[in-house]
Structure 1
């Protein structure tokens, strides 16, 4: 493997490399990959308009094709941050406009490309904000295949498209999880529930490996929800964790929430080690994992 800067006459940014990551990684067989530290792109998904695609300018790699806003990662930069940064630079995506749903990684050993699939939380119009785009457009999902696609995106698109209908939620039986660890939780049930919420919040931000949820891709960022009861009632929501209070039976509230989620088309995973509750949840179509599944990931 070698690292090469763009040579005169090669597709490149007109103003030249602006970061140490702006370089070609060259495999032993001569295949070249853009981005010394890897690369990432953003697939922004708008429920009403489709996906945001970039028509690549002629001097770029595979110029004239349609692909994702994206590019080379900076040294030490995470793919999630890099994909959003590149989309901001190339398409004017506003801060906070998208929420990550999952990532997919193409890895050839010497180089990796990460696709970050994110839902539009605050609708926006893309703006060509650097010279790498001929045009930017919201393309209905059913129309993407009709475009001349960048070969890498064309290969990844069938898998990515198949995942767009999947919206995972992890529903946590908070009392069961808290009660599974003998750490003195009974002296302050509300405090123990808040500590669990905060740990789950950190997990929500970090995401879960795709295989933990039985999904394709590399890493998912499901929505987490906790159901609390008894002395833990009144626990506040967190940014990435919803907290629901059971007025009566916690089990009944969990089943009600699960049934509503499955009915709305969500991919719901419930966390509990209560056998009777497991049976009730499976009967409404939820997947069920034990408390150890969650605790191992929190640790």
Structure 2
């Protein structure tokens, strides 16, 4: 249970007239174990708000606490979720006007058994997706479940045509191909930091056109060619060398992601490559749209 001395532990009245728990908003974890095709649910104790229903572990955020940090902390306090056990994929924000609830949708990276670690749970269980709606669900979770479920099978991935992106920046590509590729890799890594991610709308995927979907945390792949071959991968960015034509490698990477239950986006402004990417099930974004995600216009 959260420390009752925490100033965030209080009821608030939002603009819609409802009373909600969490002076600074609230957050919860929707953890998906792909090996079980199940999500972690908490059977709430009788005396809690909407007691004897099932929902995701979560609770009030602390003052100044980021949403992901709050969701992870609450899931650790209520369900014993180990450090680094989940990988963020998306955040969804329910905004009631002056109060928000952020759901962190995450994949289980390291399987674990949940543990009841505070008095707020009757039980914790991995519930198969097809059985979720058979349970008496917390009303708020029941209302959001149909929106959030498709995201569990749409892990985001982005494949970047490095040569094309670098070519869209003045003084980048033609002066130092290798150095420019390394700088682009590092900028992509900065986008991938845990609390940052990217706007989910950047992906422009059918699965991500969900009201309230806020941020996405893709798997990043950058394809390099020619003089840029051989640079190392960076934190959260996998670098792939193209042995010959970069376009062929990009299409192969996109096809592999699409075949393995990913929602994949290829970043390129090359018209022919866009057609090939669409043919293997990817969406595309132009190089300049990616560059706009960086904090400032980069000299890649």
> Is TM (by shorter chain) over 0.5?
yes
Q: What is the TM-score with the length of structure 1 in the denominator?
A: 0.91
Deviation for aligned residue 1:289: 1.6
Among 169, 185, 189, the alignment partner of 1:181 is 169
For 2:227, the equivalent position in structure 1 comes to: 231
Aligned to 1:172: 160
Measure, in 1, the Cα distance between the counterparts of 2:15 and 2:164: 54
Match of 1:71 in 2: 59
Deviations 1:47-67 (A, max 9, x none): 123100111112211111111
Change in Cα spacing, 1:57 to 1:240, as seen in structure 2 (3 Å) is same
Asked if 1 retains the 8 angstrom alpha-carbon contact of 2:15 and 2:97, the reply is no
Offset of 1:36 from its aligned partner?
0.2
Structure of greater relative contact order (alpha carbons < 8 Å, 6+ residues apart): 2
Q: What is the aligned partner in structure 2 of residue 58 from structure 1?
A: 46
> Does residue 108 of structure 1 match 2:96?
yes
Supply the distance in 2 between the matched residues of 1:196 and 1:38 (Cα, whole angstroms): 35
Cα shift readout 1:197-237 (whole Å, capped 9, x = no counterpart): 11111112222222222212222111111000111111112
Separation (CA, whole Å) in 1 of partners of 2:276 and 2:16? 56
RMSD across aligned positions (CA): 1.7
Say yes or no: does 1:212 pair with 2:199: no
Instruction: Report the counterpart of residue 250 of structure 1 in structure 2.
Output: 246
Distance 1:27 1:170 in 2: 37
CA spacing shift, 1:184–1:178, aligned 2, 3 Å:
closer
Task: Give the total of aligned pairs.
Answer: 286
Aligned to 2:145: 157
Counterpart of 1:6 in structure 2 is none
Aligned with 1:186: secondary structure? coil
**Deviation digits for residues 79-123 of structure 1 (CA, Å, limit 9, x no counterpart):** 110000000111111110001111111101121001111100011
CA distance in 2, matches of 1:184, 1:63: 59
Q: Unaligned stretches of 5+ in structure 2?
A: 296-300
The structural deviation recorded for 1:29 is: 7.4
Contact 2:41–2:124 at 8 Å: present in 1 too? Answer: yes
Q: In terms of mean alpha carbon deviation, does 115-124 or 22-31 score higher?
A: 22-31
- SS of 2:174's partner is helix
Q: Which has the larger radius of gyration?
A: 1
User: Does 2:288 match 1:292?
Assistant: yes
User: Could you say if the C-alpha distance between residues 181 and 30 of structure 1 is closer, same or farther in structure 2, counting changes exceeding 3 Å?
Assistant: closer
C-alpha distance after superposition, 1:136-182 (max 9, x if no partner): 11111111101111110010111111221112211100011112112
Paired residue for 1:273? 269
Gaps of 5+ in 1: 1-12
| Equivalent position of 1:3 in the other structure | none
Q: Which moved more, 1:165-174 or 1:259-268?
A: 259-268
